[in-house]
Structure 1
Amino acid sequence: MSDVSDRPDGAPAEPSPWNTIDDLWKWLEADQPFGGREGLLLRMLKLSEEVGEVAEAVIGATGQNPRKGVTHTWQDVEAELCDVVITAMVALRTLTPEAREVFARHLAGVANRPRAGGSGT
Protein backbone atom coordinates (compact mmCIF):
# COMPACT_ATOMS: atom_id res chain seq x y z
CA MET A 1 0.00 0.00 0.00
CA SER A 2 1.37 3.42 -0.96
CA ASP A 3 1.73 6.20 1.58
CA VAL A 4 0.84 8.74 -1.10
CA SER A 5 -2.72 9.00 -2.41
CA ASP A 6 -4.84 11.59 -4.19
CA ARG A 7 -7.02 13.76 -2.01
CA PRO A 8 -10.67 14.42 -2.93
CA ASP A 9 -9.70 17.94 -4.05
CA GLY A 10 -7.29 16.45 -6.59
CA ALA A 11 -4.13 17.59 -4.80
CA PRO A 12 -1.58 14.90 -4.03
CA ALA A 13 -1.40 13.84 -0.40
CA GLU A 14 1.80 14.40 1.50
CA PRO A 15 3.94 11.32 2.02
CA SER A 16 3.76 9.67 5.42
CA PRO A 17 6.34 10.94 7.91
CA TRP A 18 6.90 7.27 8.75
CA ASN A 19 8.92 6.86 5.54
CA THR A 20 11.39 9.43 6.84
CA ILE A 21 11.33 7.86 10.30
CA ASP A 22 12.18 4.48 8.76
CA ASP A 23 15.08 6.07 6.88
CA LEU A 24 16.36 7.75 10.04
CA TRP A 25 16.00 4.51 11.99
CA LYS A 26 17.97 2.56 9.36
CA TRP A 27 20.71 5.19 9.38
CA LEU A 28 20.93 5.13 13.18
CA GLU A 29 20.90 1.34 13.32
CA ALA A 30 23.73 1.11 10.77
CA ASP A 31 25.96 3.29 12.95
CA GLN A 32 24.83 2.01 16.35
CA PRO A 33 27.79 1.32 18.68
CA PHE A 34 25.48 -0.39 21.19
CA GLY A 35 23.05 -3.09 20.19
CA GLY A 36 20.35 -5.12 21.86
CA ARG A 37 18.76 -3.98 25.08
CA GLU A 38 21.45 -1.38 25.80
CA GLY A 39 20.94 0.28 22.41
CA LEU A 40 17.18 0.28 22.91
CA LEU A 41 17.48 1.89 26.34
CA LEU A 42 19.88 4.54 25.06
CA ARG A 43 17.45 5.38 22.25
CA MET A 44 14.72 5.88 24.88
CA LEU A 45 16.98 8.10 26.97
CA LYS A 46 17.59 10.33 23.95
CA LEU A 47 13.96 11.38 24.29
CA SER A 48 14.64 12.85 27.76
CA GLU A 49 17.53 14.82 26.35
CA GLU A 50 15.30 16.31 23.65
CA VAL A 51 12.59 17.24 26.19
CA GLY A 52 15.28 19.03 28.19
CA GLU A 53 16.16 21.04 25.11
CA VAL A 54 12.51 22.14 24.86
CA ALA A 55 12.69 23.37 28.45
CA GLU A 56 15.94 25.21 27.75
CA ALA A 57 14.40 26.88 24.69
CA VAL A 58 11.27 27.96 26.61
CA ILE A 59 13.41 29.42 29.39
CA GLY A 60 15.51 31.17 26.77
CA ALA A 61 12.49 32.48 24.85
CA THR A 62 10.93 33.94 27.98
CA GLY A 63 14.19 35.32 29.37
CA GLN A 64 13.66 33.53 32.68
CA ASN A 65 17.37 33.15 33.34
CA PRO A 66 18.39 36.63 34.54
CA ARG A 67 22.04 35.86 33.95
CA LYS A 68 21.46 35.02 30.27
CA GLY A 69 18.34 36.98 29.29
CA VAL A 70 16.50 36.11 26.08
CA THR A 71 18.57 33.50 24.24
CA HIS A 72 15.98 31.68 22.13
CA THR A 73 12.95 32.42 19.96
CA TRP A 74 9.56 30.72 19.88
CA GLN A 75 10.67 29.27 16.56
CA ASP A 76 13.49 27.57 18.48
CA VAL A 77 10.86 26.09 20.80
CA GLU A 78 8.89 24.85 17.77
CA ALA A 79 12.02 23.20 16.35
CA GLU A 80 12.82 21.53 19.67
CA LEU A 81 9.25 20.21 19.95
CA CYS A 82 9.59 18.77 16.45
CA ASP A 83 12.82 17.07 17.57
CA VAL A 84 10.91 15.51 20.49
CA VAL A 85 8.24 14.14 18.12
CA ILE A 86 10.85 12.77 15.70
CA THR A 87 12.88 11.22 18.50
CA ALA A 88 9.77 9.60 19.98
CA MET A 89 8.79 8.18 16.59
CA VAL A 90 12.30 6.78 16.08
CA ALA A 91 12.22 5.31 19.60
CA LEU A 92 8.88 3.66 18.87
CA ARG A 93 10.24 2.30 15.58
CA THR A 94 13.25 0.95 17.48
CA LEU A 95 10.92 -0.83 19.87
CA THR A 96 8.70 -2.36 17.20
CA PRO A 97 8.69 -2.71 13.41
CA GLU A 98 4.90 -2.15 13.62
CA ALA A 99 5.39 1.41 14.91
CA ARG A 100 3.00 2.89 12.33
CA GLU A 101 0.17 0.61 13.35
CA VAL A 102 0.87 0.92 17.08
CA PHE A 103 0.83 4.71 16.83
CA ALA A 104 -2.31 4.79 14.65
CA ARG A 105 -4.19 2.55 17.11
CA HIS A 106 -3.05 4.58 20.09
CA LEU A 107 -3.90 7.91 18.45
CA ALA A 108 -7.37 6.63 17.54
CA GLY A 109 -7.87 5.54 21.15
CA VAL A 110 -6.81 8.94 22.47
CA ALA A 111 -9.07 10.70 19.97
CA ASN A 112 -12.02 8.60 21.15
CA ARG A 113 -11.53 9.28 24.86
CA PRO A 114 -14.26 11.29 26.55
CA ARG A 115 -13.26 14.92 26.97
CA ALA A 116 -13.92 17.11 30.00
CA GLY A 117 -17.06 19.16 29.48
CA GLY A 118 -18.37 16.75 26.84
CA SER A 119 -21.26 14.37 27.18
CA GLY A 120 -18.87 11.48 27.80
CA THR A 121 -21.14 9.04 26.00
Structure 2
Amino acid sequence: MSAVLWPVTVRIAAALDTASGTSEHEAAMRLMKVTEEAGEASAAYIGMTGQNPRKGTTHTPADVADELCDVIIAAAVALHSFTTAPAAVLDAKLHAVARRLTSPSEIPLPQGEQ
Protein backbone atom coordinates (compact mmCIF):
# COMPACT_ATOMS: atom_id res chain seq x y z
CA MET A 1 0.00 0.00 0.00
CA SER A 2 1.21 3.44 -0.71
CA ALA A 3 3.18 4.93 2.18
CA VAL A 4 1.16 8.13 1.96
CA LEU A 5 -2.30 6.54 1.81
CA TRP A 6 -3.05 6.74 5.52
CA PRO A 7 -1.53 10.14 6.32
CA VAL A 8 -3.38 11.67 3.37
CA THR A 9 -6.69 9.96 4.18
CA VAL A 10 -6.38 11.17 7.77
CA ARG A 11 -6.17 14.73 6.39
CA ILE A 12 -9.11 14.17 4.02
CA ALA A 13 -11.25 12.62 6.77
CA ALA A 14 -10.37 15.45 9.16
CA ALA A 15 -11.32 18.05 6.54
CA LEU A 16 -14.63 16.26 5.92
CA ASP A 17 -15.23 16.02 9.67
CA THR A 18 -14.72 19.78 9.97
CA ALA A 19 -16.92 20.58 6.98
CA SER A 20 -19.69 18.03 7.49
CA GLY A 21 -19.43 16.61 10.99
CA THR A 22 -19.18 13.02 12.16
CA SER A 23 -22.80 11.97 12.43
CA GLU A 24 -24.14 8.58 11.41
CA HIS A 25 -25.56 10.31 8.35
CA GLU A 26 -22.11 11.59 7.37
CA ALA A 27 -20.64 8.09 7.81
CA ALA A 28 -23.38 6.76 5.54
CA MET A 29 -22.60 9.43 2.95
CA ARG A 30 -18.93 8.41 2.96
CA LEU A 31 -19.92 4.78 2.57
CA MET A 32 -22.21 5.65 -0.34
CA LYS A 33 -19.34 7.57 -1.96
CA VAL A 34 -17.53 4.23 -2.31
CA THR A 35 -20.48 2.87 -4.28
CA GLU A 36 -20.63 6.00 -6.43
CA GLU A 37 -16.95 5.69 -7.29
CA ALA A 38 -17.34 1.96 -8.02
CA GLY A 39 -20.13 2.83 -10.44
CA GLU A 40 -17.82 5.28 -12.18
CA ALA A 41 -15.15 2.57 -12.47
CA SER A 42 -17.72 0.23 -14.01
CA ALA A 43 -18.86 2.93 -16.42
CA ALA A 44 -15.25 3.55 -17.46
CA TYR A 45 -14.79 -0.17 -18.12
CA ILE A 46 -17.94 -0.24 -20.23
CA GLY A 47 -16.59 2.76 -22.12
CA MET A 48 -13.22 1.09 -22.54
CA THR A 49 -14.75 -2.05 -24.03
CA GLY A 50 -17.21 -0.16 -26.23
CA GLN A 51 -20.14 -2.11 -24.84
CA ASN A 52 -22.52 0.77 -25.40
CA PRO A 53 -22.99 0.81 -29.19
CA ARG A 54 -24.51 4.28 -29.05
CA LYS A 55 -21.35 5.73 -27.47
CA GLY A 56 -18.62 3.43 -28.77
CA THR A 57 -15.21 3.29 -27.11
CA THR A 58 -14.96 6.28 -24.80
CA HIS A 59 -12.41 5.30 -22.14
CA THR A 60 -8.95 3.80 -21.84
CA PRO A 61 -7.42 1.33 -19.38
CA ALA A 62 -5.81 4.38 -17.72
CA ASP A 63 -9.30 5.84 -17.17
CA VAL A 64 -10.41 2.60 -15.50
CA ALA A 65 -7.28 2.60 -13.33
CA ASP A 66 -7.93 6.22 -12.35
CA GLU A 67 -11.49 5.40 -11.32
CA LEU A 68 -10.32 2.36 -9.34
CA CYS A 69 -7.94 4.66 -7.46
CA ASP A 70 -10.96 6.83 -6.60
CA VAL A 71 -12.68 3.71 -5.21
CA ILE A 72 -9.66 2.89 -3.05
CA ILE A 73 -9.40 6.46 -1.77
CA ALA A 74 -13.12 6.70 -1.03
CA ALA A 75 -13.02 3.37 0.81
CA ALA A 76 -9.97 4.40 2.85
CA VAL A 77 -11.63 7.69 3.81
CA ALA A 78 -14.89 5.92 4.68
CA LEU A 79 -13.02 3.38 6.79
CA HIS A 80 -12.04 6.23 9.13
CA SER A 81 -15.75 6.57 10.02
CA PHE A 82 -15.96 3.00 11.28
CA THR A 83 -12.70 2.43 13.15
CA THR A 84 -10.04 4.42 14.94
CA ALA A 85 -7.33 2.20 13.41
CA PRO A 86 -8.12 2.01 9.68
CA ALA A 87 -4.59 1.02 8.63
CA ALA A 88 -4.48 -1.86 11.11
CA VAL A 89 -7.97 -3.02 10.13
CA LEU A 90 -7.06 -3.07 6.44
CA ASP A 91 -3.74 -4.76 7.11
CA ALA A 92 -5.43 -7.51 9.13
CA LYS A 93 -8.07 -7.99 6.44
CA LEU A 94 -5.50 -8.06 3.65
CA HIS A 95 -3.53 -10.78 5.42
CA ALA A 96 -6.69 -12.77 6.20
CA VAL A 97 -7.66 -12.75 2.53
CA ALA A 98 -4.12 -13.71 1.49
CA ARG A 99 -4.14 -16.64 3.92
CA ARG A 100 -7.26 -17.99 2.21
CA LEU A 101 -5.56 -17.89 -1.19
CA THR A 102 -2.01 -19.04 -0.56
CA SER A 103 0.00 -21.35 1.58
CA PRO A 104 1.33 -19.83 4.82
CA SER A 105 4.94 -19.83 3.57
CA GLU A 106 3.99 -17.59 0.61
CA ILE A 107 2.51 -14.78 2.73
CA PRO A 108 4.94 -11.99 3.62
CA LEU A 109 4.87 -11.18 7.30
CA PRO A 110 4.12 -7.61 8.33
CA GLN A 111 7.22 -5.61 9.25
CA GLY A 112 8.32 -6.34 12.78
CA GLU A 113 7.09 -9.94 12.70
CA GLN A 114 9.95 -11.31 10.59
TM-score (norm 1): 0.77
Q: Which residue of 1 aligns with 2:5?
A: 17
Q: How does 1:8-87 map to 2 (within 5 A)?
A: 15-32=3-20, 35-87=22-74
Q: Which residues of structure 2 form unaligned runs of 5+? A: 104-114
Counterpart position of 1:90 = 77
Change in Cα spacing, 1:114 to 1:66, as seen in structure 2 (3 Å) is closer
Residue identity opposite 2:14 in structure 1: K
Q: TM-score, normalised by structure 2?
A: 0.81
1:78 counterpart letter in structure 2: A
Could you tell me which runs of 5 or more consecutive residues in structure 1 were left unpaired when the two chains were aligned.
Answer: 1-13
- Over 6 Å off, 4+ runs: none
Q: Deviations over 1:42-90 (max 9, x none)?
A: 1111111011001110011111111111111110000000000111111
* Structure 1 letter corresponding to 2:34: L
Letter in 2 for 1:30: T
Aligned residue pairs total: 103
- More helix by percentage: 2
